[in-house]
Amino acid sequence: MSDATTKTLLIVIDSPPYGDWRGREALDMAFSLAAFDQPVALLFRGEGVNWLRPGQDGASINQKTVSRNLGAARMFGVSELFADTASLARFGVERPQPEVEPVVADAAFYTRFQEVIQP
Amino acid sequence: MPDISTTSKPGYSLVITGAPYVSQAPATAHAFCQTLLETGHKIDLVFLYGDGVHLASALNTPPSDETDWTSRWQALAGEHQITPVVCIASALRRGLLNDEEARRYEKPAANLANGFAIAGLGEWVQAVTSSDRVVYFHGGA
Protein backbone atom coordinates (compact mmCIF):
# COMPACT_ATOMS: atom_id res chain seq x y z
CA MET A 1 0.00 0.00 0.00
CA SER A 2 1.18 3.49 -0.78
CA ASP A 3 1.11 6.32 1.70
CA ALA A 4 -2.03 8.15 0.61
CA THR A 5 -1.10 11.35 2.39
CA THR A 6 2.03 12.01 0.29
CA LYS A 7 0.55 11.57 -3.17
CA THR A 8 0.08 14.56 -5.43
CA LEU A 9 -1.69 13.68 -8.62
CA LEU A 10 -1.49 15.52 -11.89
CA ILE A 11 -4.49 15.25 -14.18
CA VAL A 12 -3.57 16.02 -17.77
CA ILE A 13 -6.22 17.55 -20.03
CA ASP A 14 -5.15 17.29 -23.66
CA SER A 15 -8.51 17.31 -25.43
CA PRO A 16 -10.43 20.43 -26.45
CA PRO A 17 -13.28 21.90 -24.37
CA TYR A 18 -15.91 21.35 -27.08
CA GLY A 19 -16.43 18.45 -29.45
CA ASP A 20 -15.01 15.95 -27.00
CA TRP A 21 -16.16 14.94 -23.52
CA ARG A 22 -12.86 13.55 -22.30
CA GLY A 23 -11.68 16.90 -20.99
CA ARG A 24 -14.88 17.43 -19.00
CA GLU A 25 -14.70 13.97 -17.52
CA ALA A 26 -11.03 14.51 -16.70
CA LEU A 27 -12.02 17.69 -14.88
CA ASP A 28 -14.64 15.68 -12.95
CA MET A 29 -11.85 13.33 -11.89
CA ALA A 30 -9.77 16.25 -10.63
CA PHE A 31 -12.71 17.73 -8.71
CA SER A 32 -13.51 14.35 -7.25
CA LEU A 33 -9.96 13.90 -5.96
CA ALA A 34 -10.12 17.38 -4.46
CA ALA A 35 -13.48 16.61 -2.85
CA PHE A 36 -11.86 13.67 -1.09
CA ASP A 37 -8.99 15.90 0.07
CA GLN A 38 -6.43 14.38 -2.27
CA PRO A 39 -3.79 16.85 -3.48
CA VAL A 40 -4.39 17.33 -7.18
CA ALA A 41 -3.10 19.62 -9.90
CA LEU A 42 -4.18 20.14 -13.51
CA LEU A 43 -2.06 20.43 -16.62
CA PHE A 44 -3.44 21.66 -19.93
CA ARG A 45 -1.45 20.64 -22.95
CA GLY A 46 -1.99 20.03 -26.65
CA GLU A 47 -5.54 20.90 -27.74
CA GLY A 48 -6.42 21.07 -24.05
CA VAL A 49 -5.01 24.61 -23.80
CA ASN A 50 -8.16 25.77 -25.59
CA TRP A 51 -9.88 25.36 -22.21
CA LEU A 52 -7.98 28.51 -21.24
CA ARG A 53 -9.07 30.61 -24.19
CA PRO A 54 -10.88 33.74 -22.99
CA GLY A 55 -14.34 34.78 -24.15
CA GLN A 56 -15.90 31.33 -24.57
CA ASP A 57 -19.64 31.13 -25.18
CA GLY A 58 -20.93 27.57 -25.31
CA ALA A 59 -24.53 28.77 -25.54
CA SER A 60 -24.13 29.40 -29.27
CA ILE A 61 -23.73 25.63 -29.76
CA ASN A 62 -26.23 24.74 -27.01
CA GLN A 63 -23.57 23.65 -24.57
CA LYS A 64 -22.43 24.75 -21.18
CA THR A 65 -19.51 27.14 -21.21
CA VAL A 66 -17.08 24.67 -19.73
CA SER A 67 -14.40 27.20 -18.88
CA ARG A 68 -16.75 28.38 -16.11
CA ASN A 69 -16.44 24.96 -14.48
CA LEU A 70 -12.71 25.48 -14.63
CA GLY A 71 -13.05 28.81 -12.83
CA ALA A 72 -14.26 26.87 -9.80
CA ALA A 73 -11.21 24.62 -9.72
CA ARG A 74 -9.41 26.45 -6.93
CA MET A 75 -12.60 26.74 -4.91
CA PHE A 76 -13.04 22.96 -5.18
CA GLY A 77 -9.51 22.45 -3.88
CA VAL A 78 -7.42 21.89 -7.01
CA SER A 79 -4.10 23.20 -5.77
CA GLU A 80 -2.38 24.23 -8.99
CA LEU A 81 -3.22 24.77 -12.65
CA PHE A 82 -0.49 24.52 -15.27
CA ALA A 83 -0.40 25.05 -19.02
CA ASP A 84 2.28 23.87 -21.39
CA THR A 85 3.98 26.92 -22.93
CA ALA A 86 4.62 25.30 -26.32
CA SER A 87 0.95 24.31 -26.59
CA LEU A 88 -0.19 27.81 -25.59
CA ALA A 89 1.96 29.24 -28.37
CA ARG A 90 0.84 26.63 -30.91
CA PHE A 91 -2.84 27.38 -30.34
CA GLY A 92 -2.36 31.11 -29.89
CA VAL A 93 -3.75 31.24 -26.37
CA GLU A 94 -1.82 34.34 -25.37
CA ARG A 95 -3.33 35.27 -22.04
CA PRO A 96 -4.65 32.32 -20.06
CA GLN A 97 -6.32 33.01 -16.73
CA PRO A 98 -3.92 34.57 -14.20
CA GLU A 99 -4.20 31.55 -11.88
CA VAL A 100 -2.72 29.32 -14.57
CA GLU A 101 1.03 28.91 -14.44
CA PRO A 102 2.77 28.40 -17.81
CA VAL A 103 5.33 25.59 -17.62
CA VAL A 104 7.50 23.54 -19.94
CA ALA A 105 5.71 20.20 -19.63
CA ASP A 106 8.73 17.98 -20.08
CA ALA A 107 9.93 14.88 -18.25
CA ALA A 108 11.47 16.99 -15.48
CA PHE A 109 8.11 18.64 -14.87
CA TYR A 110 6.28 15.33 -14.61
CA THR A 111 8.73 14.06 -12.01
CA ARG A 112 7.33 16.66 -9.60
CA PHE A 113 4.25 14.49 -9.28
CA GLN A 114 3.70 11.11 -7.76
CA GLU A 115 1.24 10.14 -10.44
CA VAL A 116 0.37 11.55 -13.84
CA ILE A 117 -3.13 10.62 -15.00
CA GLN A 118 -4.13 11.26 -18.58
CA PRO A 119 -7.81 10.32 -18.71
CA MET B 1 14.63 -16.01 -12.85
CA PRO B 2 12.47 -15.11 -9.86
CA ASP B 3 9.56 -17.39 -9.08
CA ILE B 4 6.55 -15.21 -9.73
CA SER B 5 4.41 -17.22 -7.32
CA THR B 6 6.56 -16.24 -4.35
CA THR B 7 7.56 -12.68 -5.20
CA SER B 8 5.68 -9.79 -3.62
CA LYS B 9 2.52 -9.07 -5.59
CA PRO B 10 1.21 -5.54 -5.86
CA GLY B 11 -2.54 -4.89 -5.94
CA TYR B 12 -3.89 -3.46 -9.17
CA SER B 13 -6.80 -1.30 -10.20
CA LEU B 14 -7.83 -1.10 -13.84
CA VAL B 15 -9.60 1.89 -15.36
CA ILE B 16 -11.25 1.35 -18.75
CA THR B 17 -12.16 4.54 -20.64
CA GLY B 18 -12.47 3.16 -24.17
CA ALA B 19 -15.70 1.58 -25.44
CA PRO B 20 -15.95 -1.91 -26.94
CA TYR B 21 -16.30 -2.09 -30.73
CA VAL B 22 -14.86 1.41 -30.92
CA SER B 23 -11.56 0.74 -29.22
CA GLN B 24 -9.36 -2.11 -28.07
CA ALA B 25 -9.47 -0.92 -24.45
CA PRO B 26 -11.91 -3.48 -22.92
CA ALA B 27 -10.16 -6.33 -24.75
CA THR B 28 -6.65 -5.33 -23.68
CA ALA B 29 -7.83 -4.73 -20.13
CA HIS B 30 -9.45 -8.19 -20.12
CA ALA B 31 -6.21 -9.87 -21.20
CA PHE B 32 -4.25 -7.90 -18.62
CA CYS B 33 -6.75 -8.67 -15.86
CA GLN B 34 -6.79 -12.37 -16.72
CA THR B 35 -3.01 -12.54 -16.60
CA LEU B 36 -2.87 -10.70 -13.28
CA LEU B 37 -5.36 -13.15 -11.78
CA GLU B 38 -3.60 -16.20 -13.22
CA THR B 39 -0.37 -15.03 -11.61
CA GLY B 40 -2.01 -14.55 -8.21
CA HIS B 41 -2.30 -10.77 -8.14
CA LYS B 42 -5.06 -8.96 -6.33
CA ILE B 43 -7.47 -6.77 -8.28
CA ASP B 44 -8.66 -3.91 -6.07
CA LEU B 45 -11.01 -2.33 -8.60
CA VAL B 46 -12.12 -2.48 -12.21
CA PHE B 47 -13.59 0.95 -13.00
CA LEU B 48 -15.42 1.89 -16.18
CA TYR B 49 -15.26 5.59 -16.97
CA GLY B 50 -16.21 7.80 -19.90
CA ASP B 51 -16.93 5.75 -23.02
CA GLY B 52 -15.74 2.68 -21.13
CA VAL B 53 -19.19 2.39 -19.52
CA HIS B 54 -20.59 0.98 -22.77
CA LEU B 55 -18.93 -2.32 -21.88
CA ALA B 56 -21.54 -2.76 -19.12
CA SER B 57 -24.60 -2.57 -21.38
CA ALA B 58 -26.71 -5.73 -21.29
CA LEU B 59 -27.93 -4.79 -24.76
CA ASN B 60 -24.59 -5.11 -26.54
CA THR B 61 -25.33 -7.65 -29.28
CA PRO B 62 -22.31 -8.22 -31.49
CA PRO B 63 -22.62 -10.61 -34.44
CA SER B 64 -22.01 -14.25 -33.51
CA ASP B 65 -18.60 -14.35 -35.17
CA GLU B 66 -17.30 -11.47 -33.04
CA THR B 67 -16.23 -11.59 -29.42
CA ASP B 68 -18.91 -10.58 -26.93
CA TRP B 69 -16.76 -8.46 -24.62
CA THR B 70 -19.56 -7.83 -22.13
CA SER B 71 -20.01 -11.59 -21.65
CA ARG B 72 -16.26 -12.15 -21.53
CA TRP B 73 -15.91 -9.60 -18.74
CA GLN B 74 -18.93 -11.00 -16.88
CA ALA B 75 -17.37 -14.48 -16.99
CA LEU B 76 -13.93 -13.34 -15.81
CA ALA B 77 -15.30 -11.08 -13.09
CA GLY B 78 -17.80 -13.68 -11.89
CA GLU B 79 -15.18 -16.40 -11.69
CA HIS B 80 -12.98 -14.23 -9.46
CA GLN B 81 -15.69 -12.49 -7.42
CA ILE B 82 -14.89 -9.10 -8.94
CA THR B 83 -17.67 -6.56 -9.49
CA PRO B 84 -16.60 -4.01 -12.11
CA VAL B 85 -17.83 -0.56 -11.12
CA VAL B 86 -19.40 1.83 -13.62
CA CYS B 87 -19.10 5.59 -13.00
CA ILE B 88 -22.62 6.87 -12.45
CA ALA B 89 -22.13 10.25 -14.14
CA SER B 90 -20.54 8.71 -17.23
CA ALA B 91 -23.21 6.01 -17.31
CA LEU B 92 -26.29 8.20 -17.00
CA ARG B 93 -25.32 10.61 -19.76
CA ARG B 94 -24.66 7.66 -22.07
CA GLY B 95 -27.95 5.89 -21.35
CA LEU B 96 -26.65 3.13 -19.11
CA LEU B 97 -28.96 2.67 -16.12
CA ASN B 98 -29.63 0.10 -13.44
CA ASP B 99 -33.16 -0.50 -12.09
CA GLU B 100 -32.77 2.08 -9.34
CA GLU B 101 -31.63 4.87 -11.67
CA ALA B 102 -34.28 3.96 -14.25
CA ARG B 103 -36.92 4.42 -11.55
CA ARG B 104 -35.35 7.62 -10.24
CA TYR B 105 -35.27 9.26 -13.67
CA GLU B 106 -38.53 7.65 -14.81
CA LYS B 107 -36.97 5.93 -17.78
CA PRO B 108 -38.74 3.02 -19.48
CA ALA B 109 -35.93 0.48 -19.09
CA ALA B 110 -32.70 -0.42 -17.35
CA ASN B 111 -29.78 -2.01 -19.16
CA LEU B 112 -26.90 -2.52 -16.73
CA ALA B 113 -25.51 -6.01 -17.35
CA ASN B 114 -25.46 -8.52 -14.47
CA GLY B 115 -22.25 -8.52 -12.51
CA PHE B 116 -21.59 -4.79 -12.89
CA ALA B 117 -22.37 -2.12 -10.29
CA ILE B 118 -22.96 1.62 -10.59
CA ALA B 119 -21.15 3.95 -8.17
CA GLY B 120 -19.46 7.32 -8.02
CA LEU B 121 -15.95 8.56 -8.73
CA GLY B 122 -15.23 8.09 -5.02
CA GLU B 123 -14.56 4.42 -5.80
CA TRP B 124 -11.85 5.48 -8.24
CA VAL B 125 -10.39 7.99 -5.76
CA GLN B 126 -10.18 5.20 -3.21
CA ALA B 127 -8.35 2.99 -5.73
CA VAL B 128 -5.96 5.77 -6.72
CA THR B 129 -5.03 6.37 -3.11
CA SER B 130 -4.80 2.75 -1.94
CA SER B 131 -3.96 0.48 -4.90
CA ASP B 132 -0.29 -0.17 -5.55
CA ARG B 133 -0.80 0.31 -9.26
CA VAL B 134 -3.59 1.89 -11.32
CA VAL B 135 -3.50 1.10 -15.03
CA TYR B 136 -5.59 2.99 -17.61
CA PHE B 137 -6.97 1.52 -20.82
CA HIS B 138 -7.98 4.29 -23.20
CA GLY B 139 -9.63 4.39 -26.57
CA GLY B 140 -7.22 5.30 -29.33
CA ALA B 141 -8.10 8.90 -30.09
B2-17: pLDDT as tens digits: 555 545 788 999 999 9
B41-63: pLDDT as tens digits: 999 999 999 999 999 999 999 99
CB atoms B125 and A115 under 8 Å: no
Could you say which residues from 74 to 93 on chain B have a Cβ atom under 8 Å away from some Cβ of chain A? 89-90
- Phi, psi of A50, deg, nearest 5: -65, -15
Q: What's the pLDDT score for residue A6?
A: 57
A93-108: pLDDT as tens digits: 988 778 899 999 999 9
Q: What range defines the domain where residue A81 resides?
A: 4-117
B75-111: pLDDT as tens digits: 999 999 999 999 999 999 999 999 999 999 999 999 9
* Residues contacting residue B111 through CB under 8 Å, at least 6 positions apart: B57, B58, B59, B95, B96, B97
pTM recorded for the entire structure: 0.91
Burial zone of A51 (CB within 10 Å; 0-12 exposed, 13-18 middle, 19+ buried): buried
Predicted complex: ipTM over 0.85: yes
> What is the percent of chain B with per-residue pLDDT over 70, rounded to a whole number?
94
Q: What is the DSSP string of A24-35?
A: HHHHHHHHHHHH
Distance CA A27, CA A16 (A): 12
Would you say B47 and B85 are in contact if contact means Cβ atoms under 8 Å apart? yes
Nearest to A98 by CA among A110, A86, A81, A112: A81
Query: How many domains would you assign to chain A?
Result: 1
Homologous superfamily of B11-59+68-137: DsrEFH-like (3.40.1260.10)
Min Cα distance A1 → chain B (Å) is 6
Q: What are the domain boundaries of chain B?
A: 11-59+68-137
Outline where DSSP puts E strands in A3-119.
9-13, 40-44, 80-84, 100-103, 115-117
| pLDDT grade for A2, boundaries at 50, 70 and 90 | very low
CB atoms A115 and B134 under 8 Å: yes
Whether B87 is catalytic is yes
DSSP B98: -
| Mean pLDDT confidence for B15-24 | 97
Residues of A in CB contact (< 8 Å) with B are: 1-2, 4, 7, 9, 15, 20-22, 25, 28-29, 32-33, 36, 38, 115, 117-119
Distance CA B49, CA B121 (A): 9
What's the first-to-final CA gap in chain B, in angstroms?
38
Crossing angle of the two packed helices B69-79 and B25-38, in degrees rounded to 10: 20
Q: What's the pLDDT score for residue A1?
A: 42
Which DSSP helix (H) or strand (E) runs through B117?
A: strand B117-119
> What is the percent of chain A with per-residue pLDDT over 90, rounded to a whole number?
69
Would you say B56 and B48 are in contact if contact means Cβ atoms under 8 Å apart? yes
CB atoms A36 and B125 under 8 Å: yes
Which of B42, B125, B126, B131 is most worth mutating to test chain A (most A CB atoms within 10 A of its CB)? Answer: B125
Chain B residues with CB-CB distance to A16 below 8 A? none
Distance CA A3, CA A21 (A): 32
| Mean pLDDT confidence for A71-84 | 91
In the chain, the amino acid numbered B9 is K
In the chain, the amino acid numbered B17 is T
| pLDDT grade for A90, boundaries at 50, 70 and 90 | very high
CATH at A107: 3.40.1260.10
Distance CA B28, CA A56 (A): 38
